[in-house]
Structure 1
Amino acid sequence: MIRKLSFAVIVATVVFVNYGLAFANSTIIMVTHSPPSDTYWVSVIKGLEEAGRELDVTVQYRGVENNLNDPNQQRRNLEAAIAAKPDGIVVSDPTPASLNATIKKASDAGIPVVLVNQGGDQVDSVGALAFVGDDPGTQGAMGAAQFNAFGSKRALIITAPPGALPFLDARTNGFIKTFKGKATLAEIPLSDFNNSNRIKSITESQLQKDGSIDAVFSIGGCCITAMMQARSDVGERARAIHWGTIDMTASAIRSLKARELDFALDAQQYAQGYYPVVMLALYVRRAIKPAEERLITGPVVITPDNVNRVESTGP
C-alpha cells in the first residue's frame, strides 16, 4: 500500500528551504512523458522552477513533443540527460517496460533519481531515491466514490483501450472496482489523445448508443475539454448526467466554476515539481535520503463549491 510521508518529514523539508541549505552550481533535469505546454505539467514546471530558485539550483525540463504516445522520445531525452551528468534526475515512468532499463542506467551511474507522477511501484526496480506523485488506482476509486454518492448507476469512462498504458489501466480498474453501478468504456486510441474532436466524437457515440448513462468520467487532463464539448452537444440531457474527471486543468476550472463539471481530482501537481528538487538537494548536500519511498501529493476532490479557493491559492 502506498503511504504518505509523515508530517515531520514534510516539516523537515520546509526547514531546509527556510535555512537556505542550497547546493549552488548544481543541475537537476526533469524528463517526462508530456510537453511543457500541457496544461497539467505547467503547474509541475512552476513547482520545479520555484524550488530551483529557492535552493539556488539550475533546473531543466525536457518533455516529449506529443503527450503520452512516444516513450521512445522520452527514452532518448533521458539518455541525453544522463550524458549531461547532472547532479540529479527527476523522471516520470508511465511505461516501465520501455523506460526502466534507462532509468536504472542513471542510478547505476551514480546519478540520484526521483520518480515523479507515474511509477510509484517502480522505485526499487530502478534504484530511485523515492517517488513523488499519486496512486492511479486510488484516483479511479475516488472518482467512482463521487458518483456512488450521487447515486449514479451507469457510468461512461473516457479512457484508453485496456493495455495501452499501465497507469491508465490502474485508473480505469480502480474506478470499475469501486463503482456500484455498471461501467462502459469510451476507448480513445493513444494516437488520438491530442485530438479533441476525435475524443468528443467517440464520447458522443457512446452517449447516443446508451441512453441510460448518467455519469461520465474522464481518465485524465487529455480528455476534459472534449468531454465538456460533448456535454454541450448533448443538450438538455446533460443536466441529468453527472460529470467528473481526474486532473485539474484550465478547462476543468472553467467548467467547475460554471457548475457544468461536478468534480475534478486534483493531484496537486505543483508539489510534484517542487518536492523532488528538495529531496535531491537534501541528498546531494547532506546525504539525507527520504525515510519513505513514496510521497503522495493527491488527489483531493475539487467541486464548484471550493474551486475558487483552489484557484486563488494555486501556483
Structure 2
Amino acid sequence: MNTIFKTLAATALAVASTVGAAQAEGERYVLVSHAPDSDSWWNTIKNGLALGCEQMDVECEYRNPPTGDLADMARIIEQAAASGPDGIITTLADPDVLSGPIRNAVESGIDVIIINSGTPDEAREIGALMYVGQPEYDAGFAAGQRAAGDGIESFLCVNHYIAQPASTQRCQGFADGLGVELGNQMVDSGQDPSEIQNRVMAYLNANPDTDAVLTLGPTSADPTILALDQMGLAGDIYFGTFDLGGDIVGAIRDGVIEWGIDQQPFLQAYLPVVVLTNYHRFGVLPGNNINSGPGFVTADALDLVAELAGEYR
C-alpha cells in the first residue's frame, strides 16, 4: 500500500480506536451495486468497502445481481432492508426501477447513501443522506469538450451496459461536449468480449472516417484495444475511456489511449462507510455531496496509478 493510503489508514484506525472507547460497536452496513459478477472494475469498490469496514470496526456485506439485472437488484435492496442494517450504500442505476425500494428503506428508518450512479438531486429526492460519485453526464461533457479541443468531430461510443441510463448519459454528454448529435454513434455492444471486439471492428469498417472511440470502462475498453490493434489503428485513432484497469493503464502508457476518466471507485465505497459510522456514533454528517470524479489520467502522471490500478484506482 502506498504512503498516501498508509497515512489514511493510520488516521482512520486512530479514529476507530477513539470511537471504540466512547461508543458501542456493532454497526452493520450493506452495499448493493448494479454490477454483474463479470465486471472486474467493481473489485476496487469491494476493496474500498473492506478497508473502510475494517478500519471503522463495523460489519459490512457486498451484494449484487449476478447478471446485472436491475429488477433483481431492486429485490436485493428489499432483502437487504428487511435484514435491518444500520445503513445501505447503493447505486441508483435506474431511478424508475430502484427509487421505490430505496425510498421504502429510508422510510423504514435505514440511512442510505447513494454512490456511483444517479445524481445528487436524485439522491435527495428519495431521502438519501448524501451522494458520493461522479455525475455521469457532466463527466461525459467534460470529456467531449477535451476531445473537441483536440479536433475531434465524430466518434463511436461503445456502450456495454445500455440498460443502465447512466451509461447513455456518458455517451450523450460526450456528444454534447463535442457539439454534435449522438445519433447512431452509440452502439449496444453487450458484455461478451468477442462480441464487443467484433462490433467495434464492424462499426469502424462501415464508418472509416470516425475520428475517435469512447469506451465506458474495462469491459468495453479491453476488447476495443484488441480491435484497434487487429485493424492497425492502435495509436492512430483518438481513443478515450471511462474508468481504469490494468489493460487501460498499459494502453495509456503505450499511446493507444489518450486518457482515462477516473471516478475513484475506492472512495465511493470507502467514504460512505466512514460517513455512516461517524453519523451513527457522533451524529456528524458532511454538509455537501462528494464528487469523486471526473479526473483525467494521462501518460504524464501514470506511475502511481499504474501501481494501484484495479486495486485502489
Within the alignment, does 1:309 sit opposite 2:310 as a pair?
Answer: no
1:204-224 deviation digits (Å, cap 9, x = unpaired):
111011221121111333211
Question: For residues 263 and 241 of structure 1, do their structure 2 counterparts lie closer, same or farther at Cα, with a shift above 3 Å needed?
Answer: same
Q: Give me the whole-angstrom Cα distance separating, in 2, the residues matched to 1:161 and 1:275.
A: 26
Whether the aligned pair in 1 keeps the contact of 2:246 and 2:306 (CA below 8 Å) is: no
Task: Report deviation, 1:238.
Answer: 3.5
**1:107-256 aligned within 5 A:** 107-120=106-119, 121-159=121-159, 164-180=163-179, 184-188=184-188, 192=190, 194-235=191-232, 237-256=233-252
Question: In 1, are the aligned partners of 2:171 and 2:186 still within 8 Å (CA)?
Answer: no
Q: CA deviation at 1:234?
A: 1.0
For 1:219-298, list aligned pairs within 5 A.
219-235=216-232, 237-292=233-288, 294-298=289-293
Mapped partners of 1:154, 1:124: distance in 2: 36
Partner Cα separation in structure 2 for residue 220 and residue 19 of structure 1: 35
Q: State the distance in 2 between where 1:63 and 1:43 align.
A: 14
SS in 2 for 1:122: helix
Indicate the residue corresponding to 1:5 in structure 2: none
Residue identity opposite 2:296 in structure 1: V
- 1:46 shift after superposition: 0.8
Cα deviations by residue, 1:105-151 (Å, 9 ceiling, x for unpaired): 11101010001101223112211100111010121112213322322
Q: Structure 1: which amino acid aligns with 2:15?
A: Y
Q: In structure 2, what is the equivalent of residue 51 of structure 1? A: 52
Deviation string, structure 1 residues 37-92 (Cα, Å, up to 9, x no partner): 6222111111111111111011110012124xx01111121111111101111011
**Whole-angstrom CA distance in 2 between matches of 1:132 and 1:36:** 22
SS in 2 for 1:259: coil
- Worse overlay, 100-109 or 224-233: 224-233
Q: Matches of 1:133 and 1:111 in 2, distance apart? A: 20
Partners of 2:30 and 2:298 in 1: how far apart? 34
Amino acid at match of 2:185: L
The alignment partner of 2:304 has SS state of helix
Answer whether contact 2:87 2:112 (CA < 8 A) is retained: yes
Gaps of 5+ in 1: 1-13
TM-score, normalized by length of structure 2?
0.87
Shift of 1:181: 6.0
User: How do 1:7-86 and structure 2 match up within 5 A?
Assistant: 18-20=14-16, 21=19, 24-35=25-36, 38-67=39-68, 70-86=69-85
Residues 239-260 of structure 1 show CA distances to partners (whole Å, capped at 9, x for unaligned) of 4311110111222122222222
- TM-score, structure 1 length as denominator? 0.86
Task: Give the equivalent residue in structure 1 for 2:7.
Answer: none
Counterpart in 1 of 2:4? none
8 Å Cα contact 1:143-1:245 kept in structure 2? no
- Structure 2 counterpart of 1:299: 294
Q: Distance in 2 between matches of 1:159 and 1:167?
A: 10
Larger relative contact order (CA 8 Å, sep ≥ 6): 1
CA distance in 2, matches of 1:136, 1:222: 17
8 A contact 2:240–2:258 mirrored in 1: yes
| Contiguous gaps of at least 5 residues in structure 2 | 1-9
Secondary structure of the corresponding residue to residue 234 of structure 2? helix
**How many aligned residue pairs are there?**
295
Tell me the SS of whatever aligns to 2:114: strand
Contact in 2 for aligned 1:159/1:187 (Cα 8 Å): yes
